[in-house]
Chain A
Amino acid sequence: MNQSAQKRALTTCIALAGCFTVFSFRLVNLQVTKHDEYAAQAAANHVTRQTITARRGLIQDIHGESLAQNEPVRTVVADATLIADRSAMAELISSALGMPHPQVMEKLGREVYSQALKKNVPAPYVVLKKEVPDNVASDLATQLEKRKMRGVYFEPGSTRVYPNEQMLCHILGYVNGQNVGVDGVERTMEDFLRGHDGFRYSERDRTGREIVPYRGQEKEARNGNNVRLTVDMGLQNIVEMEIEAAYKQFRPKSATIILMQPKTGEILALANRPNFNLNVQENVPEDHRRNRAVSDILEPGSTFKIVTTAAALTEKLVQPHTMINCENGYFAAVKLHDHHPYPDLSVHDILVKSSNIGVAKLAMQLGDQKFYEYVRRFGFGERTGVNLPGEIGGIVHPPHTWSKISITRMPMGQEVSATPLQVTTAMCAIANGGHLMMPQIIHDITDDQGHVLTQFPPQEVRTVASQAATDAVRDALVEVVSPRGNRDAGPGDGVQGRRQDGHRPEARCRRPLQPRPLRHLLRRLHAANDPAFVALVLVDDPQVSHDKNYGGMVAAPVFSRIGEKAARYLNLKATEEVPAGSVMARQNVSDYRDQ
């Protein structure tokens, strides 16, 4: 081989070696240095993460009746890049989903700017319709398959359905578009109700179909837990019927009824007006969504006298028979009137006759600090802790901010404001021997197999008064409805428990509100020492003539009917002696109506 040939061969060898060295470097760069990056890119092209949606937990009443359900729905999505005949597709979709043809055409014709291609391209993800019922989506899918049309997909989902519609709307609350609770129990129990979505990694072929053998990591979805409320739908139905009737009859600004079990603090029924349909969320005024039982405040009025009396009796400053000078109806020193002039009244009778002067004097004996302490002990001025959102604590001013006459006005429920639930809870404490219970709305939480995970046992907040004091107050309350009571103070006053002269704090001269403790049942069950429930009926600003604008004529008949129906529903036995063979039910009814 001559020299030039050797040179050529060497040059070729060096060139080839250099070439292969470059290739080798590139190969190492691709396969080793940037392996992870390119592997991830490759995986992203054909590996997808599929979400397995968890089912939201149910909400049930105490007997297991479903109050909030899930219904499977689909979201219809189009990939316009895969649609060959837009017009034919639009026609099919518009007829199947009941959408206007031009609207579907507009959606399918949407374009997005592609950075890679530097031009507008058909949109790869267009939501055509949300919350399509499962059967409608299945029909559409079958038709698409039959006509071999591509480009429309169905994303699974679920929507919340409330079988009872308006009933319990303020307790149940509702969820938003992402199935997250935004009000009521749906919100407070969100952590329990919300499930945990699962996932699955899978590979897809070039047509987008899953290659099942190449499935990767998988995690099962964990469904949400079921929440069982303390509410009894039988009682709730009674309450709803009565509040609806009252709302139609008196056309008040608002109305609230609460039924609570004093021993446990369980809320058996709760209704507000105005209300709304949980299944139709559009155009609901914000005012209708408010749970007035926990978010509205009112001056408790004469119902507050129980606090003062119980406090004075617990402190042993007085006995039920201790006589108090009621100044013949006018207490000049503090410019305080009674509805009727009374010279001297026993502590028992102060409550029976609802003497403002009497309770003012009891409070004065207690002193500012002690009285304030008892007001707070009864739970006024702080949230009850019920598992409902939006609860407020009410207003109780501390003694150092009081005026000279505050100590005489607060005992009769003025200069104080409380929520209807606070008033009910305080009344429950009297019915429960002085034990203030935390209001409960959740009974327990179960998994989707029905196993109880968490229970919410009754919780005593504190003892607010002695047993003897609450017994004495209860005896007096019973007597309010007797002929000795303060019925003459106004038509129907005192018919169903503590008279109510409460006013809204912002408008003191408005018509009275009517919170009504369930007096009649308290009386009937007193001997058994086991009151079944305490009820509060609040009708705010009823549209009735002045001579009929009394608690006894507005709230009392509502309470009366609720008491009658609830007693029958709960199969309560009368503790009064009933003559053998008498028609007890009739007697009970007249018993209620006579009052």
Chain B
Amino acid sequence: MSSANRRRHANAIPIASFVTWVFIGIFAAGGGLAYVWCKNQLYSTGTEIKSLERELVDLKNKNEVAESKIAQLSSTAKLQERYDTNFIKLVPITNDHITVLSNAPTSANSGELRPVSNERTHE
């Protein structure tokens, strides 16, 4: 009897304590893994940020190049050059093709606008 009790006491597995340590181990390992995962995420996000920044700079540069090109092609000097070389098919309006109409006269009596007047009818 006494020997059986002694064996039971000697070989007893402290389940609660074991489980506690297992959980602690799991948490520690999980924590470590999470830390490594987060760190990796941080680095990969950083790399992504860097590549996006580079892309943004490239786009901005391309935009500036395009703007500069547009400014050059639409500049007064360039347009004049293109006009001079007949690239722009514009025909200047000569002076004998410009007519400026004077303001329509008003009637002396009523003050009404008289777009057409025929002096002979009054004579």
Partners in one complex: yes
A167 cross-chain contacts in B, Cβ below 8 A? 76-77
Which one of B4-12, B15-23, B29-37, B45-53 contacts A? B45-53
Contact A71 B65 (CB under 8 A): yes
Question: Is B43 interfacial (CB-CB < 8 Å)?
Answer: yes
In the complex, the answer to whether B76 meets A71 with C-beta atoms within 8 Å is no
**A163 contacts the other chain (CB 8 A):** yes
Q: Which stretch of A33-41, A121-129, A209-217, A317-325 is in the interface?
A: A209-217
Q: Are B78 and A163 in contact (CB under 8 A)?
A: yes
1/0 contact string of B86-123 vs chain A (CB within 8 Å):
00000000011011111001000000000000000000
Does A581 lie at the interface of the complex (its beta carbon under 8 Å from any beta carbon of B)?
yes
Cα of A540 to Cα of B2 in the assembled complex, Å: 133
Q: Are B95 and A210 in contact (CB under 8 A)?
A: no
Q: Decide yes or no: A161 and B95 within 8 Å by CB, A72-B65, A212-B49, A585-B100 being known contacts.
A: no
Contact B65 A578 (CB under 8 A): no
Answer whether A585 and B71 are a contact pair too, CB < 8 Å, given A65-B76, A138-B58, A212-B47: no
Residues of chain B with a CB closer than 8 A to A165's CB: 77
A89: min CB distance to chain B, Å: 23
C-beta contact mask, A213-255 vs B, less than 8 Å → 1, else 0? 1000000000000000000011011000100000000000000
A163 in contact with B72 given A213-B42, A213-B46 (CB within 8 Å)? yes
Residues of A within 8 A of B64 (CB): 55, 70-72, 158
- In the bound complex, how far is the Cα of B96 from the Cα of A164, in angstroms? 32
The residue in chain B whose Cβ has the minimal distance to the Cβ of A241 is: B80
Bitwise interface map of A from 563 to 595 toward B, beta carbon under 8 Å scored 1, else 0 = 000000000000000111111111001000000
A69 to B80, CA, bound (A): 19
Q: Which residues of A contact B76 (CB under 8 A)?
A: 65, 164, 167, 233-234, 236-237
Contact B57 A237 (CB under 8 A): no
**Given A69-B67, A583-B95: A164 and B61 within 8 A (CB)?**
no
Is A459 among interface residues, defined by CB-CB distance under 8 A? Answer: no
Q: How far is the CA of A402 from the CA of B89 in the complex (A)?
A: 62
Bound complex: CA A593 to CA B67 (Å): 43
**B50 / chain A contacts, CB cutoff of 8 Å:** 210, 212
Determine if A580 and B43 form an interchain contact, defined as CB atoms under 8 angstroms apart. Answer: no
Given A211-B46, A579-B102, CB of A66 within 8 Å of CB of B62: no
A563 to B121, CA, bound (A): 42
Are A583 and B49 in contact, with the CB atoms below 8 A?
Answer: no
- Is A135's CB within 8 Å of the partner chain B? yes
Asked if A166 is at the interface (CB within 8 A of a chain B CB), the reply is: yes
Q: Any chain B CB within 8 A of the CB of A156? A: yes
Residues from chain B with Cβ under 8 Å of A582 in the complex: 100
CB distance from A338 to the nearest CB of B (A): 39
Contact B77 A581, beta carbon cutoff 8 Å: no
B71 contact from A66, A158, A236, A583, Cβ within 8 A: A66
> Bound state CA distance, A314 and B74, in angstroms?
50
Q: Is A79 an interface residue (CB 8 A)?
A: no
Chain B CB within 8 A of A541 CB: no
Q: List CB contacts (< 8 Å) of A374-406 with chain B.
A: none
Smallest beta-carbon distance A435→chain B, Å: 32
Please give, as numbers and ranges, the residues of chain B lying within 8 Å of A584 by CB-CB distance.
Answer: 98-100
Name, among A65, A72, A165, the residue most crowded by chain B CB atoms within 10 Å (CB to CB).
A72
Closest to A583 in B: B99
For A55-79 the 0/1 string (1 means CB < 8 A from B) is 1000000000110011110000000
Alpha-carbon distance between A70 and B72 when the two chains are bound, in angstroms? 11
Select which of A212, A233, A585 is within 8 A of B46 by beta carbon: A212
Determine if A161 and B72 form an interchain contact, defined as CB atoms under 8 angstroms apart. Answer: yes
Counting CB contacts under 8 A, is A134 at the interface?
A: yes
Measured CB to CB, the closest approach of chain A to B49, in angstroms, equals 5
Most chain A CB within a 10 A radius of its CB, from B67, B75, B105: B75
> Given that A65-B75, A583-B95 are contacting pairs, would A578 and B100 also be in contact in the complex, using a CB cutoff of 8 Å?
yes
Asked whether A580 lies within 8 Å of B101 as measured between CB atoms, the reply is yes
Docked-complex contact A166 and B77, CB < 8 angstroms:
yes
CA distance A582 to B95 in the complex (A): 12
Which A residues, 192 to 213, have Cβ-Cβ distances below 8 Å to chain B? 210-213
Beta-carbon contact of B68 and A69 below 8 Å = yes
Residue of B nearest to A578 (CB): B102
List chain B residues, Cβ under 8 A from A210. 50
Closest to B61 in A: A72
Which of B46, B62, B76 has the largest count of A CB atoms less than 10 A from its CB?
B76
Q: From known contacts A71-B64, A166-B77, A237-B80, infer whether A580 and B102 are also in contact, taking CB-CB under 8 Å.
A: yes
Q: CA–CA, A210 to B47, complex, Å?
A: 9
CB pair B68–A70 under 8 Å, yes or no, is: yes
A165 to B49, CA, bound (A): 40
Report how far A55 CA is from B57 CA in the complex, Å. Answer: 13
In the complex, A135 Cα to B98 Cα: how many Å? 49
- A237–B65 CA distance with the chains assembled, in angstroms: 25
> Can you show 23 pairs from A to B with CB atoms below 8 A apart?
A66-B67, A66-B75, A72-B64, A72-B65, A134-B62, A134-B65, A138-B58, A158-B64, A161-B68, A163-B72, A163-B74, A164-B75, A164-B78, A211-B46, A213-B46, A234-B76, A237-B76, A580-B102, A581-B99, A581-B102, A584-B99, A585-B98, A586-B95
Interface residues of B, Cβ cutoff 8 Å to A:
42-43, 45-47, 49-50, 57-58, 60-62, 64-65, 67-68, 71-72, 74-78, 80, 95-96, 98-102, 105
The 5 closest A-B pairs by CB, nearest first: A212-B46, A163-B75, A584-B100, A585-B98, A66-B71
Beyond the given A71-B64, A578-B100, please list 13 additional residue pairs across the A-B interface where CB-CB is below 8 A: A65-B75, A66-B75, A70-B68, A71-B68, A72-B61, A161-B72, A163-B77, A163-B78, A164-B77, A167-B77, A212-B45, A583-B99, A585-B100
